[in-house]
């Protein structure tokens, strides 16, 4: 059986299969989302995630169908007219386009695909209400160092700052005192089967949604931030949710807490270092991003300098390793390798050896 190092969905976290079998045995999929059994599952998952992410008390958490849905809900609930977006890849661009589709007037600071942002060049219009930061762009493998978010906050105390950490959590060590919201989907860094988004938000986000609703703006229906929050306070969801994924996510977060985030971060750093070092040494592959501080630790992207991405993918597939091609127009010329907590040091060492052999 192949091992998946695709940048999401990716290989399940190692306890997932067991957790699903346990869920089936205990009929977790048959329980009502209004039952005390469900509330206990919800509470366990939230509590383990709070510990894992070290969330302060003024942050809450709700579940949606996907991170894409969270883009939509953020714009509906927390932006009256103008959101400001950092754009440097396909996903950050899509978030900006969502704002246009919802008839808002978004503004942006856009750099080329695969480039990072210079924090001193980020000029947020005073009219913008919310700043959408892309901490880790899954399409291009560029990271925005977490320390730089504080620098944006320094100049923008009156605005909401929401952070896309879809493919970097739980690795990304965020400073929650300088942000208002962060969100992710479970099929990347957490290694949980897809179909669940996690939205973390603080009181300021709630206040904004309340203000917009009071002003007469429609903030949505069953998944408005206020509805999600109202139910989350009772360890529930507005609708029947993906109970199985909520259950499994709790088990994964629990296992990660037992291992410890310090250890997970050290391992991630080591594996990322090894992959980038290998790409620099290989003859026919090279890192897309030159500036080391802008290189994502969790999604490693490389240019293919001999053959196409299909050749690299096929080469590794023969060795039972599955990696991703580049995104969108970089489909043929780039490869993407996930470096998530589920991918062991031994596995990445093996992948590094294989990459050295490519093209020879």
Q: Where do contacts with its own copies occur on this chain (CB under 8 A)? A: 1-2, 4, 6, 8-12, 16-17, 20-21, 24-25, 27, 29-33, 64-69, 71-72, 94, 97-98, 101-103, 185, 187, 193-196, 218, 220-224, 238-245, 324
Least CB distance to its own copies at residue 241 (A): 6
Nearer to its own copies, 59 or 190 (CB): 190
C-alpha 204/C-alpha 58 separation (Å) is 9
Nearer to its own copies, 10 or 298 (CB): 10
β-strand 181-185 against 160-164: which pairing, if any? parallel
Nearer to its own copies, 94 or 151 (CB): 94
Least CB distance to its own copies at residue 127 (A): 20
Which phi and psi (to 5°) does residue 186 adopt? -85, -15
At 227, list the tokens. Answer: 């509805």
Report the phi/psi class of residue 86: left, alpha or beta, with left for phi > 0 and alpha for psi in -120 to 50.
Answer: beta
Nearer to its own copies, 6 or 344 (CB): 6
Q: What is the DSSP letter of 135?
A: S
Least CB distance to its own copies at residue 58 (A): 27
CB-facing half-sphere around the CA of 23: CA atoms within 13 A? 22
Cis peptide before 170 (omega within 30 of 0): yes
Least CB distance to its own copies at residue 28 (A): 8
Least CB distance to its own copies at residue 18 (A): 10
Residue whose entry in the numeric block shows the structure tokens 């980038």: 276
Nearer to its own copies, 19 or 261 (CB): 19
Nearer to its own copies, 170 or 197 (CB): 197
Strand partners, 83: 130
Nearer to its own copies, 196 or 348 (CB): 196
C-alpha 278/C-alpha 353 separation (Å) is 8
Least CB distance to its own copies at residue 200 (A): 19
Least CB distance to its own copies at residue 183 (A): 13
Cis peptide before 9 (omega within 30 of 0): yes
What does the CA dihedral 170, 58, 149, 327 come to, rounded to 10 degrees?
A: 40
Nearer to its own copies, 193 or 307 (CB): 193
248-to-11, 39, 178, 264 alpha-carbon distances in Å: 14, 14, 30, 19
Least CB distance to its own copies at residue 215 (A): 12
Residue 226 in contact with residue 199, Cβ under 8 Å?
Answer: no
C-alpha 4/C-alpha 320 separation (Å) is 9
Of all residues in the chain, what percent are helix, strand and coil, respectively (each to 5)?
A: 45, 15, 40
Least CB distance to its own copies at residue 330 (A): 14
Nearer to its own copies, 266 or 331 (CB): 331
């Amino acid at each position: 059986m192949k091992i998946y190092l695709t940048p999401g969905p990716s290989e399940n976290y190692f306890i997932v299969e067991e957790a699903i079998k346990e869920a089936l045995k205990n009929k977790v999929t048959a329980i009502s989302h209004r039952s005390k059994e469900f509330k206990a599952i919800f509470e366990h998952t939230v509590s383990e995630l709070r510990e894992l992410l070290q969330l302060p008390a003024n942050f809450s958490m709700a579940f949606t169908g996907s991170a894409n849905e969270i883009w939509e809900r953020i714009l509906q609930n927390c932006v009256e007219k103008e959101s400001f977006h950092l754009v440097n890849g396909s996903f950050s661009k899509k978030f900006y386009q969502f704002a246009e589709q919802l008839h808002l007037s978004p503004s942006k600071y856009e750099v080329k695909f695969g480039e990072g942002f210079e924090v001193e060049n980020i000029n947020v219009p005073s009219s913008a209400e919310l700043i959408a930061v892309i901490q880790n762009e899954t399409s291009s493998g560029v990271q925005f160092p977490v320390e730089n978010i504080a620098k944006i906050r320094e100049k923008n105390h009156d605005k909401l700052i929401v952070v896309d950490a879809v493919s970097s959590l739980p690795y990304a060590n965020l400073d929650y005192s300088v942000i208002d919201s962060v969100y992710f989907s479970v099929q990347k860094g957490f290694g949980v089967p897809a179909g669940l988004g996690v939205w973390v938000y603080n009181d300021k986000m709630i206040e904004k949604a309340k203000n917009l609703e009071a002003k007469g703006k429609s903030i949505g229906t069953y998944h408005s931030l206020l509805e999600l929050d109202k139910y989350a306070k009772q360890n529930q969801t507005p609708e029947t949710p993906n109970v199985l994924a909520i259950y499994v996510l709790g088990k994964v977060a629990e296992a990660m807490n037992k291992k410890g985030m310090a250890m997970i971060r050290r391992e991630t750093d080591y594996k990322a270092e090894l992959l980038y070092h290998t790409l620099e040494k290989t003859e026919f592959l090279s890192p897309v991003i030159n500036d080391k501080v802008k290189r994502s630790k969790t999604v490693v992207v490389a240019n293919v300098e001999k053959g196409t991405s299909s050749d690299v993918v096929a080469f590794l597939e023969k060795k039972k390793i599955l990696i991703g091609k580049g995104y969108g127009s970089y489909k043929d010329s780039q490869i993407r390798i996930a470096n998530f907590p589920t991918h062991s040091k031994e596995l990445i060492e093996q992948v590094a050896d294989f990459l050295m052999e490519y093209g020879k």
